[in-house]
Amino acid sequence: MQLMVGGNPRAFETIYDRHGAAAFSLAYRMTGNRGRAEDAVQEAFISIWRSRARYEADRGSVRTWILGIVHHRTIDTLRRNLVHDRRRTTAEGIEERHEAEERTDVEVARREEARTVRAALETLPGDQTRVIELAYFGGFTHSQIAEMLKMPIGTVKGRMRLGLEKLRRQLAEEYA
């Protein structure tokens, strides 16, 4: 590590060889996507190289320092992708609002059902809506949501349960 702090590229290669697999494993577990995990690890190691002088041996091991940086970069990647996915979803929602020239009965029913679910989601408190959207539309696990929102996993599960119960009641009334 001292050699890398001094700017030795061979030392950086050694650091990467020793810790790259663990870094990728962490990022992959967090993202569930190989490409996103690779991007997060690449960004993390660029950051490690640039901030190599900040490493303090008395605060923890090299692996702990590296995995901490990978963890934060992966969360940044997830947030960026969440914003991108939301924009894409919003754009797709706009397309759905425009009338199509030809519609099938199935398509009409699907769109009506989507409007009903969106309307029901809008009636929930924001914290419940957010965890449900992240889980069902973002595909994130409870653990990943807890990390992204920086809250205990029990809080995420509680908000999810309450929100889904409210949705279930509301949609049951709608379709009854």
Residue 84 lies in a domain: no
- Domain span including residue 60: 2-78
32 pLDDT tier (thresholds 50, 70, 90) = confident
What CA–CA distances, in Å, run from 64 to 26, 46, 71, 107, 153?
A: 12, 17, 10, 52, 23
Residue 94 lies in a domain: no
Same domain, 49 and 107: no
Look up the pTM and report it: 0.46
> Hey, what are 24's tokens?
């990728």
Single residue among 25, 43, 78 that ends a domain in this structure: 78
Query: Across the chain, what does the average pLDDT equal?
Result: 82
Single residue among 24, 45, 78 that ends a domain in this structure: 78
Number of domains in the chain: 2
Q: Using alpha carbons, select from 31, 98, 109 the residue that is nearest to residue 70.
A: 31
**125-140 pLDDT per residue, tens:** 988 988 888 887 777 7
